Structure 1
Amino acid sequence: MSERSFVKGSPYIMIKEIHEQPSVIERIIRSSPDEYKIAAEMIFSAKKVFVTGSGSSYHAGMFLDLLLKRKGLNSRSFVSGDYDIYRNLVDKESVVIAISQSGYTTDTLEAVSLFKKQGAKIIGVTNIIDSPLAQTSDHTIYVKAGREEAVTATKSFSAQITSLLRIYIEIFRSVDEKILKLETYLNNLPKLFKEYIYKTETYVRDLVEHVYKKDHMYILGRGLNYVSALESALKLKETCGIHSEAMYLTEIRHGPKAAVDESYMIGMFINENDLETALKIIEELKDSEAVFLASIPEGLENKIMYREKIMFFNISLEREMPEEIRPLLDVLIYQLLSYYIAVSRMLDPDRPKRLRKIVI
């Protein structure tokens, strides 16, 4: 692999921005809680909550939506381009959380314009202080990622997830004792993230020589892990041109597994409750010659790693890690994998073809 693939001396911005993520997360968790408390009060007092965005911002919105649903809030997420479908559902008793890294995304701004006319309160989540989204919103959360120059979103996605976690913690701090454990873990995340980058990057550099010529990838997950699968598949598509699809863990058994052959990678985000299903999938695909890559809690590796005829790579996570934290570290795997595959294929990971940083 070319020397330019390493951070020091690399001509590429993407890898540098990946390595900036611990400091971005620390900046967010050390900031005043006031802006998150205001957003939390708006969400908790609303009868209906809608979360919208496009691309990585939509995936971050889906993450928050799933967390709110689990706590019994009337929440739903949607791609901002589908805003017209919700025209008759959003009203003055609604809060709309609109997420856009740039704050200039046309579909998101059109959604905000419509829903404001219908009386909804808008919480804008953006990285740009003077953006149209910030100016239009009733309340704005600045994600504090700093300028992101690579087209592929890395540190801005982590900043969005971290900011949304801070809102979530403020909503439920007084009603759920598990929130305190989550907050403690989040406060320690910058150090853990930095260690995990080093561990994962070393692993991915070794892995990439086995997979950089693969043309296809299915990435499987359930619940919050499905959000990780969506964002990870997007990184591979845009950065290195690999046909990659995210799907719910069990859905591969309902048709897609027929397409799997030696040109495929299979990514899996596995919780302890998913282990039996994951083993069934691996067994059913053992003759495909696909390469498997799994993210799995520590202690479960030996139950899944070895299968005859299968090339299996595994990255483990702390078993006690709150599941709300996990997407930040799981997506990091594919940020790094996408970058190193792109470099191995002699592609520019900062400027993928046909893509722009701001979609207007």
Structure 2
Amino acid sequence: MCGIVGVKGIENPQNFLIEGLRELEYRGYDSAGIAVIDNDGLKVIKAVGKLKNLEVKLKNVTFKNPKLGIGHTRWATHGKPTEINAHPHTGKFSAVVHNGIIENYQKIKKELEKENIEFISQTDTEVIVKLFEHFCNGDVFEAFKKTIKKIDGAYAVLLITEKAPDKIFFAKKGSPLIVAKNGNKFFFASSDAPLIGYADSAHYLEDSEFGYIDDDIYLFKDGKKITPNFKPLPDNRESAKKGGYRFYMEKEIYEQYDVLKENTLGRNTKEGIKFDEVDKNFFEGINNIIISACGTSYHAGLVGKYLIERSAKIRVNVEVASELRYRNPLLTKDTLFIVISQSGETADTLETLKMAKKAGLKTLALCNVDNSSIVREADKTILLRAGIEKGVASTKAFATQVMTLWMLSNYLADKNEYEIINKAIESTKVNPKIHEKIKRLSKRYLHGHGFFYIGRDIFYPLALEGALKLKEISYIHAEGYPAGEMKHGPIALADPELFVVALLSKNILFEKTKSNIEELVARDATVLTISSELIELTDDFIQISDSNHPMIEFFEMMVITQLLALEVAIRRGNDVDMPRNLAKSVTVE
């Protein structure tokens, strides 16, 4: 989750840029950089890794009356996390920072290369500054307007140039960007937190708004000058980091739509799935896959088993890492060994990875933290791009793990589900009416002797994950079961004090799952059904949107089960972000 900051009108703007980027560290990043214009012109400093690396390089730079600057923390999408690919990107006399994706960058790049304009990075962002300079042969703002008109996609852009050393140009479409002020001091950021203590009011840019700051803010939309709508900034930085949500976990549930867009950037394309990190040659000779993981990551792996076997016709076994490492398993060299970890430091998963490497297997990591132990150990890594997850109970990391496995299944099968993947991402937008309904329903589910979450096919691992979320933060006993297994013992527990959350897909085994639900209703269990098809016989019902693909249903149901766990835990007065006895990264056995 990339971060943006910018400033004009204060002494030593480089200090604000560093402090602002530090406030955005919680979003996650793999490189950082700033660009400042002073009496000597444009100065750009970039570094891979943590901000401290950038700060070390800054100590060797002398600024002469610096006027303004922009900064960025990058989470790699197009191109690897290298200094060349880090932002700001530069031309001959300008620099730009950008969040989002320029969908037509390859077309623009080819056009500019025909004009003998050279590119040095692997990123889509570089075309913005090169296109701007290509247009910049007169009025600078006109050049910026032409640039914004030419690019397609989602973006939050800040651009500075020696041709207009007192201006910062900005534009927003699809990615968040805030412009703030305090008297004649002006600030930019991609969230509130960097602005607090510096600015007193802010305008939250709407899509298609653009303009520049000079002695004032000049704002435009649809070719017309408009008046900014400044609102007071919150005065609590921690609250600002939560974005007004009660808990980080709640914020992270709501973030999943944006996170999944980040996760699929440059990967889910109209031509099919593309991974910069790995190519088809890596999978040659692979007849089997073993997925090793723990907890939530294990549940994501189970979803991956269904998807890969169904699409790519490759046998997949999913293993609990703490069991696999001591089992002396049969590991043959035609097996791809995949490990999944949010932190990249999960001890049991790391040990199974080492075991697979020792046996000579090809290894692939799905991980959220670059340069972590698992990433360093694995042959190849596909980064999840979920950003830092503050809530101990995983939400957005699980979403990106499942999405990455879904894309991998498409990749291995040469299958293109571009539109379906995009629709699944859309389904993760939280419906405020459904959230409000869950808040009301939650008061019915605070007691009793436990929960069963039931589902079939990919909805069985989602049932496991839903049950895990509930027990992690509410401290109520919950189990996930395949719906067809209820009659093989667990249904003995059915009574009014047993709560059942039924995940009923219209697209997979609908009638059979419905029959399993009816068996529980007949035995007087209290049942909440989540489905697009209205089921009147159950006690409670949450209706999802009608769709013709199970993965669209999956992601919408995922959000609902997360919200249910959240609201039950809140009603019970628990600390949702830091549940008892749990740690975010399990680095011991």
Question: Would the TM-score normalized by the shorter structure come out above 0.5?
Answer: yes
Q: Does 1:113 align with 2:354?
A: yes
1:185-196 matches, cutoff 5 A: 185-194=420-429, 196=430
**How many angstroms does 1:282 deviate by?**
4.0
On the 8 A contact 1:294/1:313 being kept in 2, the answer is: yes
Given candidates 557, 560, 564, the residue that maps to 1:333 is 560
Q: How far is the alpha carbon of 1:78 from its aligned partner?
A: 0.9
- Root-mean-square deviation over aligned CA pairs: 2.3
Question: Which of 41, 48, 56 in structure 1 is aligned with 2:288?
Answer: 48
Q: 1:260 to 1:46 in 2, by over 3 A?
A: same
Shift of 1:327: 2.4
Greater displacement, 8-17 / 236-245: 8-17
Match status 1:255 vs 2:489? yes
Q: 1:355 to 1:341 in 2, by over 3 A?
A: same
| Residue equivalent to 2:157 | none
Q: Distance in 2 between matches of 1:247 and 1:24?
A: 29
Check if 1:166 corresponds to 2:407. yes
Matching residue of 1:243: 477
Superimposed CA distance per residue, residues 261-320 of structure 1 (whole angstroms, 9 cap, x where no aligned partner): 222211111234544434444443346543211122x3x31xx31x3xx52323233231
1:162-311 matched pairs, under 5 angstroms: 162-173=403-414, 179-180=415-416, 182-194=417-429, 196-272=430-506, 274-286=509-521, 288-296=523-531, 298=532, 300-301=533-534, 304-305=535-536, 307=537, 311=539
Partner-residue secondary structure (3-state), 1:213: coil
Letter in 2 for 1:46: I
Normalising by structure 1, report the TM-score.
Answer: 0.87
Aligned 1:65-80 pairs, distance under 5 A: 65-70=305-310, 71-80=312-321
Match of 2:569 among 320, 342, 354: 342
Distance (Å, rounded) in 1 between the aligned partners of 2:518 and 2:550:
26
Aligned-partner Cα distance in 1 for 2:513–2:356: 42
Of stretches 209-218 and 262-271 in structure 1, the one that deviates more from structure 2 is 209-218
Indicate if the aligned counterparts of 1:161 and 1:328 stay in contact, CA closer than 8 A.
no
Task: After superposition, give the CA deviation of every residue in 1:33-55 in whole Å (9 maximum; x if it has no partner).
Answer: 65367265534641221111000
Asked whether the equivalents of residues 42 and 95 of structure 1 are also in contact (C-alpha less than 8 Å), the reply is no
- Code of the residue aligned with 1:319 in structure 2: it is S
Deviations 1:156-210 (A, max 9, x none): 100111112221222222xxxxx43x3212124443321x443431321221122
C-alpha separation in 2, matches of 1:212 and 1:223:
28
CA offset digits 1:62-105 (Å, max 9, x no partner): 11112222242122111111224664421322210100000001
- CA radius of gyration, larger in: 2
Partner residue in 1 for 2:49: none
Against the structure 1 CA distance between its residues 36 and 234, is the aligned structure 2 distance closer, same or farther, given a 3 Å change threshold?
farther
Against the structure 1 CA distance between its residues 19 and 28, is the aligned structure 2 distance closer, same or farther, given a 3 Å change threshold? Answer: same
Q: What is the rounded CA distance, in whole Å, between the counterparts of 1:351 and 1:209 in structure 2? A: 22
Structure 2 equivalent of residue 176 of structure 1? none
Stretch moving more, 90-99 or 18-27: 90-99
If each structure's helix is expressed as a fraction of its own residues, which one has the higher value?
1
Identity of aligned residues (%): 28
| 2:470–2:478 CA contact under 8 A, matched in 1 | yes
Count how many residue pairs are aligned between Structure 1 and Structure 2: 340
The corresponding residue for 1:317 is 545
Unpaired runs of 5+ residues, structure 2, are: 1-238, 268-272
Structure 2 letter corresponding to 1:130: N
CA separation in 2, counterparts of 1:323 and 1:280? 19
Between stretches 277-286 and 47-56, larger displacement belongs to: 277-286
Task: Kindly indicate whether the alpha-carbon contact (under 8 Å) linking 1:19 and 1:197 is maintained by their aligned counterparts in 2.
Answer: no
Aligned to 1:157: 398
Distance 1:15 1:356 in 2: 18
- Gap change, CA 1:40 and 1:356, over 3 Å in 2: farther
Task: Return the offset for 1:215.
Answer: 4.0
Q: How does 1:24-43 map to 2 (within 5 A)?
A: 24-32=259-267, 34-35=274-275, 38=278, 41-43=281-283
Residue 375 of structure 2 aligns to a residue whose secondary structure is helix
Q: Structure 2 CA distance, aligned partners of 1:141 and 1:188?
A: 22
User: After the TM superposition, which of the residue ranges 161-170 and 125-134 deviates more from structure 2?
Assistant: 161-170
Cα distance in structure 1, aligned partners of 2:513 and 2:246: 39
Mapped partners of 1:229, 1:259: distance in 2? 18
Question: Is 1:22 aligned to residue 263 of structure 2?
Answer: no
SS of residue matched to 1:96 = strand
Asked if residue 134 in structure 1 is aligned to residue 375 in structure 2, the reply is: yes
Residues 1:275 and 1:62: Cα distance change in structure 2 (over 3 Å)? closer
Once residues 202 and 311 of structure 1 are traced to their aligned partners in structure 2, the CA distance between those partners, rounded to angstroms, is 18
Mapped partners of 1:69, 1:290: distance in 2:
34
> Could you say if the C-alpha distance between residues 76 and 137 of structure 1 is closer, same or farther in structure 2, counting changes exceeding 3 Å?
same
Q: Which has the higher contact order (CA 8 A, sep 6+)?
A: 1
Q: Is the 8 A contact 1:25 1:190 kept in 2?
A: yes
The one-letter amino acid paired with 1:89 is: L
CA distance in 2, matches of 1:113, 1:314: 44
State whether residues 102 and 358 of structure 1, in contact with CA within 8 Å, keep that contact through their aligned partners in structure 2: yes
TM-score of the superposed pair, with normalisation by structure 2 = 0.54
